[in-house]
Chain A
Amino acid sequence: MTTRYTFGGDEHLFVECSDEMSLEAFFKGLSMAKGVRESGIKGVTEICPANASFQIKFNPDIIKPDDILREVKAIEGAAEKAEPVIKTRIVEIPVFYNDPWTHETLMRFRERHQEPTGTDLDYAAKINDYSSVETFINAHSGSPWFVSMVGFVAGLPFMYQMVERQRQIEVPKYLRPRTDTPKLTVGHGGCFGCIYSVRGAGGYQMFGITPMPIFDASQSVSYLRDFMVFFRPGDIVKFKAIGREAYDQAVEDVDTGKFSPPIREVSFDLREYQKDIDGYNAKLEGMLYGH
């Protein structure tokens, strides 16, 4: 894992911790981003963590590009030695898989897809060697996911599946991006899952929809009153498959302010996780459901 530094014009320093995705690369980026924030380097205006990289926006009238490069490089060593442990939270997100709205949309854009017959779920199950859509959904909702980046559009989480690499779901993006995706679609592209926070263009395969808003500019949703964006990098997500009835009920509960997602504070230790992934996940799930 070699860290690469490069400038994005005269206002951005771009730091790539690894060219391939891994939780190690994510943790290194997160740790370095934290180090930059805590060191209070003058002229830094924004720090954006991403999956295996991060970006710093700076004001070159205040700090010269060479100087910020030197200061950030100096942080790398300490960040590498930092304990890969974060205090975070685990949240349960209900998903109505194979729902009518993403189904209608995927049919509308079928000519842009790898497989003109069948659905995105059929295709993803097949190329990931699952015997049926049902077993694929079981795998998708069976393990937790790590939010490794928030962005693209407002509040959209990129999620990394917490299983061994050979078990991770991988799918290509649409051949040509769609011009429409229903709000709150649960999608997947490359090795990343996502939830579309707003309606709009998109290229990820569509698996289902959640009734739980994750971005609300009006801040009227009860759990988004303090801040309009739900997710933060480092959050852990556990999907729960629900049917139409539970979906409709949840939508109604959101509208009446009664919906509150199950959330627990947890500490995540990358080394412990790597020693026994399934065991560690079971423990996390135990904390989420309080048993």
Chain B
Amino acid sequence: MAIKVLHHGLATTVQDLGRPGYFHLGIPVGGAMDRLAMRAANLLVGNDEGAAGLEAVFMGPKLEFTEDALVAVTGADMPAKVDGVVQPGWTAFKVKAGQVLSFDFLKSGARIYIAVSGGIDVPVALGSRSTYPIGALGGYKGRPLAPGDELPVGAGSLASEGRALAEEYRRKPGTPAALRVLPGLYWDRLTDEAKDNFFADEWKVAPEADRMGYRFRGGRKLSFVERKQPFGAGSDPSNIVDSCYPYGSIQVPGGTEPIILHRDAVSGGGYFMVGTVISADMDLIGQLQPHTPARFVKVTMEEALAARAERAGLLERLRASLN
């Protein structure tokens, strides 16, 4: 069983839940940016949650199936079509041998997840099938898909078509999108005024937004507490001695444009960070389009943990609803 790539969309990659354990060598966790959507797509077609599927951003691919398969598309609202016939989202549907899966225009969100019964069966690299293009690691030949590629598919299970997930699992960014942030790391490099402005201002997702990081514009420039720069840090007040970067950490080079590091993050560098987006809101970032208004919302560790528990509860209910 295989899938022939007729068109690759904009940037479509093989992803699963990632390869933890190698960040200390600069290799990021990778995997689906919207993990809940990836898990949901897999569960709908009877796969393990960690099976490999496809992540497509802004524009869907065009895929021809060589054998019958069960497919589900989750994440952004971008209607799937089988030989031109629209299929419901967040629902398992059948694609027959010779049929073509394509997509309508993106209506909301940013990334879709395409799960196929049996999973995309590319070789496992460092414990994962996720694509890390910079290192030419994992995925299909270490790169995004291209026309002519043939994706191997594993043996599928017997899940039935028509299974669907309720609305409550389909998370969409609000207007403005609210991203909860725990201040920390080098937060105290900022003046009190800059600390207030960071959370008070409305920002916009910049066009430079990808799997490595999401850049934001539109807020006031942040000012720094004056200091003599420490040895090795570099001369700009936003420079630090190169350190690790947490996933979700927000660096602001030059104090101008915040960048949130995501699943394909660089593992470290020399820019100070004001804090970190909480784990419960990382999936949401993957569904933000450029120009989307966004606000950073200050939370405490207790609130971060409560939000995390709420997301875990949602995932439990999602699993139970498909059993």
Which A positions have Cβ atoms within 8 angstroms of B? Answer: 6-12, 14, 16, 18-22, 45-55, 57, 60-61, 65, 149-156, 158, 165, 172-173, 189-192, 197-198, 200, 215, 217-218, 228-229
Contacts and interface: CB of A to CB of B under 8 A. Distances in A.
A8 to B, nearest CB: 3
A189 B271 CA distance: 13
Given A20-B241, A173-B234, A8 B246 contact: yes
A9 B142 contact: no
Given A14-B184, A21-B232, A9 B26 contact: no
Contact of A11 (B135, B242, B247, B266): B247
B145 interface: no
B243 A150 contact: no
Given A6-B185, A9-B246, A21 B231 contact: yes
Q: Which of B187, B230, B246 has the most CB of A within 10 A?
A: B246
Nearest to B24: A48
A53 B243 CA distance: 6
Contact of A54 (B20, B244, B277): B244
Contacts of B232: 20-21, 51-52, 190-192
A104 B240 CA distance: 30
Contacts of B52: none
Contacts of B275: 9
B244 A9 contact: no
Q: Which of A55, A151, A190 has the most CB of B within 10 A?
A: A151
A150 B26 contact: yes
B249 interface: yes
B234 A10 contact: no
Given A46-B23, A154-B134, A190-B232, A10 B270 contact: no
B244 A50 contact: yes
Contact of B301 (A10, A156, A191): A10
Contacts of B20: 45-46, 57
Given A46-B24, A47-B24, A152-B268, A14 B246 contact: yes
Interface residues of B, number: 51
A48 B244 CA distance: 7
A19 B240 contact: yes
Given A7-B301, A20-B233, A151-B26, A12 B267 contact: no
A51 B24 contact: no
14 contacts: A11-B248, A12-B247, A12-B276, A16-B243, A19-B230, A19-B240, A46-B23, A50-B268, A61-B308, A151-B268, A190-B234, A190-B241, A191-B232, A200-B134
B97 interface: no
Q: Which of B240, B244, B279 has the most CB of A within 10 A?
A: B244
A128 B84 CA distance: 65
A20 B231 contact: yes
Interface string B210-235: 00000000000000000000111111
Contacts of A158: 242
B12 interface: no
Contacts, number: 178
A51 B184 contact: no
Contacts of B21: 45-46
Contacts of B234: 172-173, 189-190
Interface string B169-202: 0000000000000101101000000000000000
Q: Which of B125, B142, B239, B301 has the most CB of A within 10 A?
A: B301
A21 B20 CA distance: 28
Nearest to B301: A65
B301 A57 contact: no
B184 A7 contact: yes
A154 B142 CA distance: 13
Given A151-B268, A189-B270, A12 B135 contact: no
Contact of B277 (A9, A18, A49, A60): A9
A7 B247 CA distance: 12
Contacts of A50: 242-244, 268
B276 A152 contact: no
Contact of A217 (B136, B241, B270): B136
A68 to B, nearest CB: 12
B248 A151 contact: no
B288 to A, nearest CB: 18
B27 interface: yes
A50 B25 CA distance: 10
Given A48-B244, A198-B134, A156 B231 contact: no
Contacts of A200: 134
Interface string B125-140: 1000000101111100
A153 B266 CA distance: 6
A263 B231 CA distance: 31
B241 A49 contact: no
A7 B276 CA distance: 8
Given A57-B23, A190-B270, 4 more contacts: A6-B185, A45-B21, A55-B243, A165-B231
Contacts of B308: 10, 60-61
Contacts of B279: 9-11, 60
